[in-house]
Amino acid sequence: MTDLVLLHGGQHGSWCWKFLVDAVKQREALFERVICLDMPGCGTKRGRDVTTLTLGDIVKELNDELRAANVRDAVLLGHSIAGVLLPMMVIEDQSLYSRLVYLATAIPAEGQSIMQLLGSSLHGQNPEEVGWPLNPVTTAPADMQKAMFGADMSDAQLVWLLGEAADDVTPPAVATQPATRKGYANSVPSVYILTSRDGILPPEWQRRFAERLGCEHLIEIDTPHEPFVTDPELLGATLADWMMSRRS
Contact 247, 28 (CB under 8 A): no
Q: In 3-state terms, what secondary structure has residue 80? A: helix
Confidence of residue 186 (pLDDT cuts 50, 70, 90): confident
Q: What pLDDT shows up at residue 22? A: 96
Q: What value does the mean pLDDT take over residues 170-188?
A: 93
Write the CATH number for 166. 3.40.50.1820
Count other Cβ atoms within 10 Å, centred on residue 106: 24
In tens, the pLDDT along 118-137 reads: 999 999 999 999 999 999 99
Structure confidence at residue 27 (pLDDT): 83
Q: What is the pLDDT of residue 28?
A: 76
Average pLDDT, the chain: 95
Task: Please state the domain count of the chain.
Answer: 1
Least confident of 34-43, 45-54, 96-105, 181-190: 181-190
Distance CA 233, CA 242 (A): 14
pTM for the whole thing? 0.96
Q: What is the rounded distance in angstroms from the CA atom of residue 1 to the CA atom of residue 128? A: 42
Please tell me the predicted confidence (pLDDT) of residue 248. 54
Give residue 29's pLDDT.
Answer: 83
- Percent share of the chain, pLDDT over 90: 92
Question: E-strand spans in the chain?
Answer: 2-7, 31-37, 74-79, 97-103, 190-195, 217-221
Give the pLDDT mean for 166-179: 97
Alpha-carbon span 63 to 75, nearest angstrom: 13
Assign 207 to helix, strand or coil.
Answer: helix
- For the stretch 208-244, pLDDT in tens is 999 999 999 999 999 999 999 999 999 999 999 998 8
**What's the domain range around 66?**
2-247
